[in-house]
């Protein structure tokens, strides 16, 4: 990949945001021309447009747009990570990739204080969170806007991924996405 795109980051993409956030957003994996290019989750691709605008609207980001690392954007009481840290083939991580990266997600989850909220963007992110925490998935099935109680008074909220496919087909609208973050904001409090 680096040979095809010499100016791209083309390395594992580290999480971005506060070290001990009240809100953790878990995505799928770096996008080819987004995070794989910029080195920051959800930066430089379509999914990031909706995500960062929504985070800003609820006071979790200092600005509504993320264009590059070093652009001055700061996340406020929020952190963004992915279930898989490297660009997966065909933008769809294999189960073994999710398992290999799960230890990194576990470290992110361990930083969360009691009462934190985790927003899982898609079923793969949802499953990765539960796997990292050692929780059975059968009792906590993925569904858009579903809420799941977790240990330490934490809450997992599911959302369809903010990908171009989901937003262009209407499976996820901006209003639906805003409701997820309004709920997260309510659970976190001021």
Contact yes or no for 64/57 (Cβ under 8 A): yes
101 found inside a domain = yes
Long-range Cβ contact pairs of 149-155 (< 8 A, separation 24 or more): 150/118, 152/112, 152/113, 152/114, 152/115, 152/116, 153/114, 153/115, 154/112, 154/114, 154/115, 154/116, 154/117, 154/118, 155/116, 155/117, 155/118, 155/187
Q: What pTM was estimated for this model as a whole?
A: 0.94
130 found inside a domain = yes
111 found inside a domain = yes
Kindly report the average pLDDT of the chain as a whole number. 91
3 found inside a domain = no
Burial of 69 (0-12, 13-18, 19+ CB in 10 A): middle
Q: Name which of 86, 93, 83 is nearest 25 in CA terms.
A: 83
Residue 94, domain extent: 16-188
161 found inside a domain = yes
8 found inside a domain = no
Summarize pLDDT for 84-114 with one digit per residue, the tens.
988 788 778 888 999 999 999 999 999 999 9
Question: Over 60: is that where the pLDDT of 2 sits?
Answer: no
Sign for the CA dihedral angle at 163, 167, 171, 172 comes to: positive
112 found inside a domain = yes
- For position 66, which CATH number holds? 3.40.470.10
141 found inside a domain = yes
What's the pLDDT score for residue 35? 64
DSSP letter (8 states) at residue 61? B
Q: What is the mean pLDDT of residues 74-90?
A: 90
Domains contained in the chain, number = 1
């Amino acid at each position: 990949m680096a040979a095809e795109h010499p100016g791209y980051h083309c390395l594992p993409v580290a999480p971005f945001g506060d070290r001990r956030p009240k809100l953790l957003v878990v995505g799928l994996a770096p996008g080819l021309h987004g995070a794989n290019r910029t080195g920051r989750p959800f930066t430089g691709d379509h999914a990031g447009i909706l995500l960062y605008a929504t985070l800003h609207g609820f006071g979790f980001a200092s600005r509504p747009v993320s264009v590059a690392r070093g652009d001055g954007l700061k996340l406020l009481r929020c952190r963004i990570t992915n279930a898989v840290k490297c660009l997966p083939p065909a933008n769809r991580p294999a189960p073994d990739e999710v398992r290999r990266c799960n230890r990194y997600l576990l470290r992110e989850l361990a930083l969360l204080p009691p009462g934190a909220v985790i927003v899982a963007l898609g079923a793969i992110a949802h499953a990765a969170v539960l796997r990292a925490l050692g929780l059975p998935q059968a009792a906590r099935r993925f569904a858009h806007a579903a809420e799941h109680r977790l240990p330490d008074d934490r809450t997992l909220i599911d959302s369809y991924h903010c990908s171009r496919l989901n937003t262009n087909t209407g499976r996820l609208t901006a209003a639906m996405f805003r409701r997820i973050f309004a709920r997260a904001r309510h659970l976190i409090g001021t």
